[in-house]
A = this chain, B = another copy of it.
């Protein structure tokens, strides 16, 4: 039972007993995580190395291994600190749809602020209390809607998937510029040079080029998912 994830769980969930003997630690987990977040925010996860994190904190890289077993656990700490707990402001106001919509928008801003969390949360991993609090809030918003527990979880997962997908799409455009336009430009170039073996795609892109909203894909998917949930609830209560 005691696999290698146990240490990660302890790091994310505590406790973190301060030892009484020996010299005072100059660092703590939160400062290390913040330093890593600063690097990943500015230069991306690929430029994150133990050396850089240690240098930012004024220590040697090996000093970090006194706090963290390895790079993977450091990234897990960074993700937990970057995502943080779900803000509880305006809790339980409005119906499930308003609550979920608000929740999804807040989650999107968090992901947008730390785009590297996308690639950091790809594989199987241990979730921290902050991440779980986000799930808690979404499931809670669906209380009393007639959906089963599994369905409430699935709905939350579905929304998270959309948030992640949109965040990734937004990253393709860089910090400035709207994603759809740039994606459309690249695709349009390919269409023009490589001939029209994708007729439906070219037609859709030509029509999409005149579209304006830079968050159109986000709004579209969000409303479609919420519509689908509403349809299910309708079928249940009928």
A residues adjacent to B (C-beta < 8 A): 9, 13, 118-119, 122-127, 129, 132-133, 135-136, 139-140, 143, 148-155, 157-158, 160-162, 164-166, 168-169, 171-174, 180, 186-187, 190, 194, 197-201, 203-208, 211, 216-217, 220-221, 223-232
> At the interface, is chain A mostly helix, strand, loop or mixed?
helix
* 19 CB < 8 A contacts A-B: A119-B123, A123-B168, A124-B171, A124-B172, A125-B172, A132-B187, A132-B198, A132-B201, A136-B200, A136-B201, A150-B180, A150-B207, A154-B216, A155-B224, A158-B224, A161-B161, A164-B164, A224-B229, A227-B227
Candidates B122, B126, B161, B217; contact of A154 at CB < 8 Å: B217
| Residues A122 and B124 in contact, CB atoms below 8 Å apart | no
A170 to chain B: closest residue by CB: B124
| Residues A158 and B149 in contact, CB atoms below 8 Å apart | no
A126 to chain B: closest residue by CB: B186
The winner among A129, A171, A216, A224 for most chain B CB atoms within 10 A is A224
How far is the CB of A219 from the nearest CB of chain B, in Å?
9
| Residues B133 and A204 in contact, CB atoms below 8 Å apart | no
| Residues A158 and B154 in contact, CB atoms below 8 Å apart | no
Name the B residues within 8 Å of A198 (CB-CB): 132-133, 135-136
Candidates B140, B153, B172; contact of A205 at CB < 8 Å: B153
Name the B residues within 8 Å of A197 (CB-CB): 129
Name the B residues within 8 Å of A127 (CB-CB): 187, 190
| Residues A207 and B149 in contact, CB atoms below 8 Å apart | yes
How far is the CB of A192 from the nearest CB of chain B, in Å?
12
How far is the CB of A19 from the nearest CB of chain B, in Å?
23
The winner among A150, A172, A229 for most chain B CB atoms within 10 A is A150
Candidates B143, B155, B171, B217; contact of A123 at CB < 8 Å: B171
* Complex Cα spacing A226 to B207, Å: 22
A157 to chain B: closest residue by CB: B217
* Complex Cα spacing A172 to B121, Å: 11
* Complex Cα spacing A206 to B187, Å: 46
The winner among A9, A149, A216 for most chain B CB atoms within 10 A is A149
